[in-house]
Each structure stands twice: as C-alpha cells, then as structure tokens.
Amino acid sequence: MEVGGDLQSLLEAIKSSEVLEDRIGLINRLESSFEYSADDLRPVLDSLNVSWDDSGCSGLSHCMLHKSILQVALKCSYIETTGCLGQFLALGAKASSWCRKHIVCSIESVDDSEDVQQEEHSKILPEIILMALNISIKILPSAAKCVTVDMVHNIGDFISELLSLMESSIVDNDKKIHGAALDITKAAPVFLDETTKLCRAYSEATKVDNCTMSITDEDATVKHNKQGLASDVIRITSSTIQTMCRLGTYAASSGGSQVILLNVSWKGVVSLLQSGKGMIEGKVNVREIIVTLLSLSIESLRVAAETWCAPLLETLGATEARRAFLPIKFFLINAVRICSTYPSEAMIIYKNIINCAVVITSSSILFSKKPQLKAANETLVELLEPTLFVLLDTLMKSSDLTPESKCQLAHHFFENEEDKSPDLMGQANQREINLASLDCIFSMDSDVDHRNRALLPAELLVFLHFLNASSWLTEMVVITLSKKLQTLLNILTSEDIYSYVLGFQIPALNGADQSPAVVWQPVYTSIIQALKAFMISTVASSAAWNELEAFLLENIFHPHFLCLEIITELWCFFIRYAETETSINLVNQVSLLLKTVASPEDVLSPLSALRKVARSLCIILSYASSATVDQIYTCVLNGENSSKSSILHLALLMEGFPLDSLSDGTKELAMKKMFTSFAGYLESYSKNHRVINVPTCKLGVVGLPIHALASALQHR
C-alpha cells in the first residue's frame, strides 16, 4: 500500500502525463491503491480537477478518463466533504456540464453504427452521470450547513448544472441514452430530496435577521451580504422548482413507472414554494404550476375514462379504479397545498380550478350511466371529491383574499345562463344539450356554448357544494349565492336537466367525517338538502334572508312542476323549523297574495291562480304550528262576513286546509261556523220550495256552504 510521498509522486505523474491512456491508468491506480485520510483529499481533488478534460468527447478513451476521475472522487466523498467542498463543487459542475453536452451530441448524432467499441462507449455515459449524481448526493448535506455568500454562489452554479444534466438524462433516455439510465432514475429522487433540503436550509438562513457567515480560510466571522445571499438562494430555489416541475410532469406521463420520481418531484415543489414564500414569487410562475397540476389531474382522468368507457368492458373493480385515481388525488392535494400558500395567485386562475371540478364531476355523471362503472364512480366520490372540494374551499376560506374576490368565484357559476329566459331554456333542443359525452367533457375548447350547456349538470352539483358549505362562507358570498337561486330554477326547466334531476341517482359521502360511507341518492334529494342547508345559513344575514324570502315568494306558484315542487318543499321546511313569529310574518305575505287573486269565477276552477296559491298555502300550513294556523285562519277565514272572505274560505277548504292543526277552541268555532252556514243554506233552500235562487246565492257560487262542508269532511 502506497502512502506519504508515494501519493505525491503519483499525483505529480498524473499531472505531467500527456498520453490519455497513461493518465487513465495512473488515475485508476490512484483509485485502487490508496486508503485516503482527510488530509489527502485536497491534493487528490485538485489533481482530479486539473485532469478533467472539458473539450467535447473525442471517443471511448475520453469517457474512460472521466469515469476514472469520478470513481476516485466518489471514493473521496465517503471520507469527508466539508473541508474540500469547493473542490467537489468545481469537479461536479465540470462533470455535469460536460455530460450534458455529451447528451446533446449523442441525440444529434446520426452515427448508428453498432460495433463493439460504440456499444461500450454508449454504456459509459450513464455510468458517468450516475457517479456525478452520487457524488452530489454525498456533498449536499455538507453544503447545506455552509451558508456563506461565496459558497452559496458556487453551489448555485453546481446545482444548476446538475439539475440540467438530470433533466436531460431522464427525459431524453428513450432517445439516445443507454438503458443503464434506469439507475440514474433511481438516484434522481435522492438527489432531488437532498437539493430540496438544501434549498429549505438556505431559505431559512436568509430569513434570519442577524445571521453570520464563517470564512474558513481567514477563520473570521462577518455579516452576511444579505442581498447577494438572498439573490443566490432565490436563483437556486427557483431553478430547482422549475426542474422538478418538468420532471414531475414527465414522470406523470410515464404510465406509472416513475412513481418515486413523481412523488419526490411534486412534494419538493410544494415544499420549496412553502419555504420560499415572500422570496421567489418574481422568479417562479406559481399560477402555471397550479394549472399544470390541474391539467395532469384531468389528463389522468381522461386516460382512465377512455379505457373504461370502451365497448364490451367488463365490470370494473374498486381496486383498479383506486389505482387510477390515487395519482389524481396526489395532484389535487399538491394543488391544494400550493393554493393555500398562494391564494392570491390561485384566485387569478379560479376559472381553471372550477373547470377542473366540473370536469371531474362530469366524469362521475358519465360513470353513473354505466352500471359496469359503479365501483369506479363510488371510488371517485370517495377519493377525489373531498379533495376537489377542499381545493375550492381553500380560496373561500383564505384570509388573504377580499370578500369581493370570493364573490367573483361564486358569481362565475351559471354565468352563461343568466341572460337566458326560462322559456328559452325550456325550449332548448334536447339533442344539442344532452348530458356530456366523453369527448365533450375533456374538450379543450371551453368557450363553446354546446360544451358549457352539456356540463351544466356537473356545474349544478359543484354549485350545490357551496350551498352546503354556506354556513362558514362570508356574508357577501352568501348574498351572491342567494342571487343565483333564480338562475338555478331557470336551469331546471330545461328538459335534459330536469330529466337528469328526476331520473338519476348519484353517489355521495354520508356519515361521520372519520369514516364516511358512499350512498346513492337521487339528484333531486341532493338539491333539496343543499337548499335547506343554505336556507339555514341565510338566517344569519338579513340581506341574504331578504333575497331568499323574495325568491320564495316570487316562485310560490312557479309554472314548472319541478320548480314548484322544490319551492313548496322549501316553504314546508321553513314553516316546520322557523320561529312562530317569523313564520307568521312570511305566511301572511302569502295570504295577502291569496287575497289579491281572490275571484268568485275562479274558486271552482282547480287550475286557476286562486286555487294554485290556496293549494300551496295549505301544503305549507300542514307543517306549521297551531299558533301559525290559528293566525292565518283568524286573518283570512274568520274575518268579517265579506264576499272575499267567503271565497277564500271555500278555496282553502277545497285545497285541504289543515283544520286538525287548529287549536281546539279555534277548530270548534270553525266547524260550528261551517255547520251553521250549511244549516242556514238548507233552511233557505226549503223555504224557497227547493228551488235554488241563483241571483240570491252568495257571490253567485251555487251551494257554497255545501262545497265548504263537503271539502272539510273530505280532507279530514
């Protein structure tokens, strides 16, 4: 074993050697013949740096030289790195730059010879790249502890070269680099992880107010040049983020073969964006990163949906569906983390975020039409839907966003439908606005009106999420949502939409937050539940409640059967749970409307406005308290013996006025009045020799007391 002067002699021989093959032999001897101490590293590394040939690759021997140099450097890196960090960085930067140029030349080369020497040559480059990465992995932990202005600047150049090399070697692997690049792919995540740790350490150092730097050569402590340090840290961090984004995007398209690289890349992006907040915004396009993650989610879903929707597909299992959806959830989770850190940036692209939610929800609707995809649909709701809604909620919950910005997001829903009249919506061509097909869902042209209409069912379901979440939304957002309710009803009048609402069942999470279960329920039920939740939330805001109250009153006899059913359900819910005084005040307004349309000609016509309003009021009162029913009876039916009061009395009784809901005393008086009127009518009939005197009949309604008593007895 050679020691002491023999090492110095060998280093001198390497330095003076002019024949390439001789130099390779001497360096190989250096690698195999010595066990180095920490004191030996500096001269050895200096010699290796001098021996590196930066010129373009001249052939196999040139690559062999660099391979031998890096083998020695790798051996040195296992001994000690801190004291010789500068030499390691210089050599690593040289190696990375040279390898990257070699890759470019290899790709551009038209030499397809397959002789033995060429084959051997093609195998060496990946080995050199791998050694450069492994050396870097060893020295980065030491570099993270050495936060000096000069050192950080040098490390920035070093990492920049390594990142470019790694990106070229991995992305261009299928073009020209030999199959040994598989080992490069395994080492790359480790390098990225160490680089992420280094960037985080540097970012923290720049945030310390009174940090100092240590200069080893002078053994002195001086203040940081904060501006220079911050500039280099920003440069390193931003280039690392950008490279990891590109590698993460590449790994996402690898069909599942680059899972580790995918995870490390995107987790590193998120980590550095979080630690670099307030520093890197000017160098990194955060919005573009979020859009990339959303696009990867949509593209992954598109690939899965196209495969599953192919003809003659067997029933899909939950395991296969979960395997396809987990990467999508991963992308969405990272998007959530970035959006929560940079809500202002995310708000600028809120339309992209909503579009992603609509696309995923549309896919769920599409899966609902195919029985063989039931498991896929349930898995989608279980895995993706919660994260998807958290993504939307992140913007709404952010304290960095103004209420006006949040309202802008809420206002975006049904924006294309607000200028259309209900009649125009109802007459829309079924063929043109049918439920979205696979091609329509994943179309890139979001401005086409046909696609917007086809995605309306999905937009409706996403809108329902905000209604359900209204309890924690700001007052301005709740008011904005309340103004959307009329447009919601208008949309429901479209043939394809109300057919979907009445005929479809969708999966939904139900149960405790810790262990929710997927249950199937009609779309109609989902709409009713969301509107009821929203109704409860509006109570906290007088402005929002006024909007909702006007909405309920204006649509109490909506011409469309589905809308009328929804409005009636909401009225009943309100009457059942509202305070007595509040319910009386609102029902009194319906009573005023009833008095307005009262007419003797309409009382016996079931389809008249009078009977429709009376019908709605009776249904509403069937859920009211006795005090409320008593109040309405007293004001409407038990008033003065006027013509209008008698007409209202009959109309309500014919529509099933809930007499049994009256208090005992009021009910007794009501029944007594009806029987008295009936008896009086019979007496008058007998006195008139059983001839009906039409002109003398009250209000021209023949047999009014008979109709009243018969209706009361019929509905008991």
State phi, psi for 518 to the nearest 5 degrees.
-85, 125
Burial (Cβ within 10 Å: 0-12, 13-18, ≥19) of residue 132: buried
pLDDT of residue 54: 85
Average pLDDT, the chain: 85
Predicted TM-score of the model (pTM): 0.88
Q: Is the pLDDT of residue 454 over 80?
A: yes
- Per residue in 203-228, pLDDT (tens digit) is 988 877 434 444 344 433 344 456 67
pLDDT of residue 331: 98
- Per residue in 606-658, pLDDT (tens digit) is 888 888 889 989 999 999 999 999 988 888 765 555 677 888 888 998 999 99
Task: For the chain, give the percent of residues with pLDDT over 70.
Answer: 85
- Domain membership of residue 177 (yes or no) is yes
CB atoms inside a 10 Å sphere around CB 3:
12
Separation in Å, CA 632 to CA 503, 551, 592: 37, 22, 11
- Per residue in 280-335, pLDDT (tens digit) is 999 999 999 999 999 999 999 999 999 998 875 688 999 999 999 999 999 999 99
pLDDT of residue 513: 64
Task: For the chain, give the percent of residues with pLDDT over 90.
Answer: 51
Q: Is the pLDDT of residue 177 over 50?
A: yes
- Domain membership of residue 142 (yes or no) is yes
Separation in Å, CA 115 to CA 120, 224, 246: 9, 56, 35
**Are 474 and 460 in contact, with CB atoms under 8 Å apart?**
no
pLDDT of residue 601: 84
Band the pLDDT of 107: cuts 50, 70, 90. Answer: low
pLDDT of residue 430: 42
- Per residue in 156-169, pLDDT (tens digit) is 999 999 999 988 88
Band the pLDDT of 202: cuts 50, 70, 90. Answer: very high
The span from the CA of 132 to the CA of 608, in Å, is 87
- Domain membership of residue 251 (yes or no) is yes
pLDDT of residue 591: 86
308: left (phi over 0), alpha (psi -120 to 50) or beta: alpha
Band the pLDDT of 40: cuts 50, 70, 90. Answer: confident
- Per residue in 514-555, pLDDT (tens digit) is 678 899 999 999 999 999 999 999 999 999 999 999 999 999
**Residue 657 half-sphere exposure toward CB, CA atoms < 13 A:** 28
pLDDT of residue 277: 92
- Domain membership of residue 140 (yes or no) is yes
Band the pLDDT of 408: cuts 50, 70, 90. Answer: very high
pLDDT of residue 35: 76
Dihedral over Cα of 660, 666, 667, 671: its sign: negative
The span from the CA of 187 to the CA of 274, in Å, is 25
- Per residue in 116-125, pLDDT (tens digit) is 666 777 788 8
Token pair, residue 713, equals 């007895």
Q: Is the pLDDT of residue 379 over 80?
A: yes
- Domain membership of residue 116 (yes or no) is no
- Per residue in 419-446, pLDDT (tens digit) is 665 555 544 444 344 567 888 888 766 5
Choose among 198, 177, 296, 306: nearest CA to 248: 296
**Are 362 and 498 in contact, with CB atoms under 8 Å apart?**
no
- Domain range enclosing 188: 129-208+223-277
| Host H or E run for residue 618 | helix 609-621
- Per residue in 470-488, pLDDT (tens digit) is 999 999 999 999 999 999 9
SS (H, E, C) 198-226: HHHHHHHHHHCCCCEEEECCCCEEEECCH
SS (H, E, C) 467-522: HHCHHHCCHHHHHHHHCCHHHHHHHHCCHHHHHHHHHCEEEEEECCCCCCEEEEEE
- Domain membership of residue 244 (yes or no) is yes
Rounded to the nearest 10 degrees, how much is the dihedral formed by the CA atoms of 9, 11, 17, 21?
A: 110
- Mean of pLDDT values over 185-209: 89
The span from the CA of 404 to the CA of 276, in Å, is 28
Q: Is the pLDDT of residue 96 over 50?
A: yes
**Are 409 and 350 in contact, with CB atoms under 8 Å apart?**
yes
- Mean of pLDDT values over 131-157: 91
Characterize the bridge pairing of strands 212-215 and 220-223. Answer: antiparallel
pLDDT of residue 146: 86
Separation in Å, CA 158 to CA 142, 297, 531, 589: 14, 33, 59, 77
Q: Please, which contacts does 322-325 make with residues 24 or more away whose CB atoms are closer than 8 Å? A: 322/379, 322/383, 324/300, 324/376, 325/379, 325/380, 325/383, 325/384
pLDDT of residue 343: 97
Q: How many domains does the chain have?
A: 1
Choose among 260, 137, 276: nearest CA to 195: 137
- Domain membership of residue 453 (yes or no) is no
- Domain membership of residue 615 (yes or no) is no
Q: Is the pLDDT of residue 3 over 60?
A: no
